Structure 1
């Protein structure tokens, strides 16, 4: 995840940046609003964490630019100001959250995680076609979740990862159950039959004499 972090106080910027990097975020720092705007024109970010009271252009000005030019981007406002008027300004510009300094780095990270998870969920719902979400063990079609069992999900995920590849039943069993399954390899046929009933298109092709493969599109 790419994070733009606007903060003019060097110590705060250094500490919070280090915590973000510990959570595997890729952080690009800006010490003033003008630099943040330059970076937004040059790079793509998943989220911005913006201090409001910074030199040259305020965090609210940067937020306004983001919402006009990068409307899908998540934004957390970070400031020492605790007045209602400033908070209302931030929310009127569609900030996703507003955090008062001094803030615990752990709390800030949790806020970031929650918002990014919500944004990713919204993006998944807006995607068209068949979408696999490995982190949540869910499959979606045009944003609608498919009611799959765990075995069905793992089978579909395995096939979709390598479209066009013909998998034998034994290979699919190893991918789904590892070496824990004892029984007839025709269990794969049963899962494929159920998947075909639940999928809106003919995504799984039978390869005679071999097994199954995933084909792109709902042919």
Structure 2
């Protein structure tokens, strides 16, 4: 079945280009031109993924993303941000965007990024699922559900992917570049993406995010997952 994608951008030209490329890739596309329309469209029919412009009049992309994260934490969001504005990219990641593409962008690159996110959210094959466990922390890769002390964790697509990767590969120091390639599938990109996701994940699984015991900083390298003793 074709994936459904909601494209939210106040520029009709950008929206039309993205729509045509996604439809050519086999997606079913709906358009919204502001934040109010976007939230109404999601309330009417939840898409498989949202492409969301950061800067829009009225309800901004950040506000829309915050609302989606509250109501639909598992819904993948790919943010469109202004070229060179690192603060905007970080802000989008902070509110829970799973990925971002900077403007002006290549429509082909956007389609590839969307494919990557959708592939990671697709149901796993019967042989693939595994429940990864570290003390009171578990991650079910088949159901894509993580729990801490039995309580379900609200994780975005990338946060779950990052947690599962670290649980599978504990006690080894990973650089940000390595995590970007292993978890995001990018061979190059903004490494602050990793920093933001690690910070968000620590806030959800660490007793004291300021003094993490699970995802620790490997100084001069990156991060390392320390399993419970």
Band of TM-score, shorter chain = 0.5 to 0.7
TM-score by length of 2: 0.53
Select which of 127, 135, 144 maps to 2:130. Answer: 144
Q: Secondary structure at the match of 1:50?
A: strand
Q: Which of the pair has the greater relative contact order for Cα pairs under 8 Å at 6+ separation? A: 2
TM-score by length of 1: 0.56
Select which of 84, 87, 93 maps to 1:85. Answer: 87
Q: Secondary structure at the match of 1:140?
A: coil
**Residue pairs, 1:33-48, within 5 angstroms:** 33-48=35-50
Select which of 13, 16, 20 maps to 2:15. Answer: 13
Deviation at 1:81, TM superposition (A): 5.0
Q: Deviations over 1:25-55 (max 9, x none)?
A: 1111001111001111111111000001112
Task: Please give the alpha-carbon distance, in whole angstroms, between the structure 2 residues aligned to 1:140 and 1:62.
Answer: 37
**Residue pairs, 1:51-62, within 5 angstroms:** 51-62=53-64
**Residue pairs, 1:180-191, within 5 angstroms:** none
- 1:113 matched to which residue of 2? 115
Q: Deviations over 1:67-95 (max 9, x none)?
A: 11111111110022532222221111121
Contact kept, 8 Å, 2:51 with 2:77, in 1: the verdict is yes
Q: Secondary structure at the match of 2:31?
A: strand
Superposition CA RMSD, Å = 1.7
Q: Which runs of 5+ in 1 are unaligned?
A: 125-132, 134-138, 146-219
Q: Secondary structure at the match of 2:127?
A: strand
